A and B are shown apart, each in its own frame.
Chain A
Amino acid sequence: MIEFRSVSKTFADGTTAVRDFNLVLPSRTTTVLVGSSGCGKTTLLRMVNRLIEPSSGQVLIDDVDVATRNPVELRRSIGYVMQHAGLLPHRRVVDNVAVPLRLSGVPRTEATARALAALETVGLDPALARRYPRQLSGGQQQRVGVARGLVADPNILLMDEPFGAVDPIVRVDLQRELLRLQRELGKTIVFVTHDIDEAFLLGDQVVILRRGGEVAQVGTPAEILAAPADDFVRSFVGLDRAHRALHIEERGGQRVVVDGDGRPAGVLDPA
């Protein structure tokens, strides 16, 4: 369990990224922080492994304040997947994946074996293991990034817009893969995105943020859609747009789901 207790962050240049933020992220679930740029979502994520220190307030993992832990040790115990994969360009793919293990002192042969297994877990061809990151496509690099995040089998996985820089088809692929992995592995995932569809697809708990790290609404995707807290949330999740405002029409004896523009979106399954 991760807990934010009245966390605020003001940067040296005077901008307040987060103000009095409180949230509990239950274990073995995916919490998605979603909002437009400047809403403090990445700042919040980076506080979990102390890449950013809060100006006030506490971040706790299993009731232990992370401020009391050695930051380097803490980061090694938490998986991190970043936008553009963030691979080391001078290491081969397999060595990139093995980095967290090597840093924790796992012997080279064992680290390599586990790295190869992690590559298989994320569905990468082992033939790519000996390549350098730049020789891979964006989607492949991102899979390597996920493999690196998972290789040390951490309880917590932080994901900072991991699929933001890949093309839409690859993104759908990676999202499906993440859902599959999460069903198998049951990590505590903190996922940051600006894409509300991605948030609803992946999140057990979705946190919609306004500027300044202010929470607009917290809930399951269904709760938020069913009862948006205010106009900001309504507009952010797209309830004011046609593709979310669905209704049912009888057409030829079938109950058809139609969107706000009258375009059929699907049929209502009697089951």
Chain B
Amino acid sequence: MTWFLDNADRIGDLTLRHLWLSVLPVLLGFLLAVPIGWWAQRHPRIGAVVLGSGSILYTVPSLPLLVILPGVLGTSFLDPINVVVVLTLYAVALLVRTAADAFAQVPRDVVDAADATGHSSAQRALRVELPLAGPVLLAGVRVASVSTVSLVTVGALIGVSNLGSLFTEGFQRSNTPEIVIGLAVVVALALALDTIWVLLGRVLMPWVRGARTTA
């Protein structure tokens, strides 16, 4: 506890770094995965290949990827961009299949009604399919968010400071409280973000709750 109070400023600073290193990949991953998933679901054959490669991508270990990436991107080894790119790739890998499933479960007769009432393809995708895919997409974002918050800590190994730095430092100095506190803050951050996604979902998708009250 003493260690926590003595280092409160630093923990606060690391938490903020950790926060943006987590949120940015989830948001970027979401923005990339939704159109890919939508497309994959409409073209099942090539779509299956895309979804398969997503799963393979997710099995690549993060540490070697973080080491190789600066060479590929031409970024400096310590650049946080590397972490953001790697975690975005993982988020895409996780979310593409969810997105495809989310669009696939939109009821066929609702899509048909959208066509019959004169939606163009783009209007149908954005005003009908996307909102109705929302609840499943939200579930995917929650998983990706928790997984990303924990993956960010790996960045500390290559010198990108975040809450994971408390682990590396704690091990080097045999400082157990530092490790435990690091762990607790990471978990707290993951839970806090999760709560935000759930609340955001309620604001953006009021009909989900509206339906439940009478169903």
Contact = CB atoms under 8 A, between A and B. Distances in A.
Interface of A: 49, 51, 72-73, 75-76, 80, 82, 84, 86-91, 99-100, 103-104, 131-132, 134-135, 148
B104 interface: no
Interface stretch (B64-72, B115-123, B177-185): B115-123
A80 B211 contact: no
B118 A100 contact: yes
A18 to B, nearest CB: 19
Interface string B195-215: 000000000010100110111
Interface in B85-132: 107, 109-110, 112-120, 123, 128, 131-132
A73 B110 CA distance: 19
Contacts of A134: 210-211, 214-215
A20 B23 CA distance: 60
B75 to A, nearest CB: 41
A73 B119 CA distance: 9
A254 to B, nearest CB: 51
A82 B131 CA distance: 22
Contact of B118 (A88, A90, A91, A103): A103
Contacts of B120: 72
B116 A86 contact: yes
Contacts of A104: 118
Contacts of A76: 117-118
Most buried by A among B113, B116, B132, B213: B116
Nearest to A81: B116
20 contacts: A51-B112, A72-B120, A75-B117, A82-B109, A82-B112, A86-B110, A87-B113, A89-B132, A89-B207, A90-B128, A90-B132, A90-B205, A100-B117, A103-B123, A132-B210, A132-B211, A134-B210, A134-B211, A134-B214, A134-B215
Given A90-B205, A135-B210, A135-B211, A51 B118 contact: no
Nearest to A131: B210
Contacts of B132: 89-90
Given A89-B207, A90-B207, A75 B118 contact: yes
Most buried by A among B132, B134, B205, B207: B207
B123 A49 contact: no
Most buried by A among B107, B114, B117, B119: B117
Interface in B111-163: 112-120, 123, 128, 131-132, 134
Nearest to B209: A132
Given A89-B107, A103-B119, 19 more contacts: A49-B116, A75-B115, A75-B116, A75-B118, A80-B117, A82-B109, A82-B116, A89-B211, A90-B131, A90-B207, A100-B118, A103-B117, A132-B210, A132-B211, A134-B211, A134-B214, A134-B215, A135-B210, A135-B214
Contacts of A91: 207
Contacts of B110: 86, 88-89
B114 A88 contact: yes
A263 B111 CA distance: 49
B118 A86 contact: no
B121 to A, nearest CB: 9
A101 to B, nearest CB: 10
A87 B128 CA distance: 11
A87 B119 CA distance: 13
Given A132-B211, A134-B215, A135-B211, A86 B113 contact: yes
A51 B111 CA distance: 12
A134 B207 CA distance: 9
Contacts of B109: 82, 84, 86
A150 to B, nearest CB: 12
Nearest to B210: A132
Contacts of B114: 88
Contacts of B215: 134
A61 to B, nearest CB: 15
Nearest to B213: A135
Given A132-B210, A132-B211, A135-B211, A86 B119 contact: no
Contacts of A49: 116
Contacts of A103: 117-119, 123
Contacts of A86: 109-110, 112-113, 116
B128 A88 contact: yes
A73 B118 CA distance: 7
Contacts of B119: 72, 103
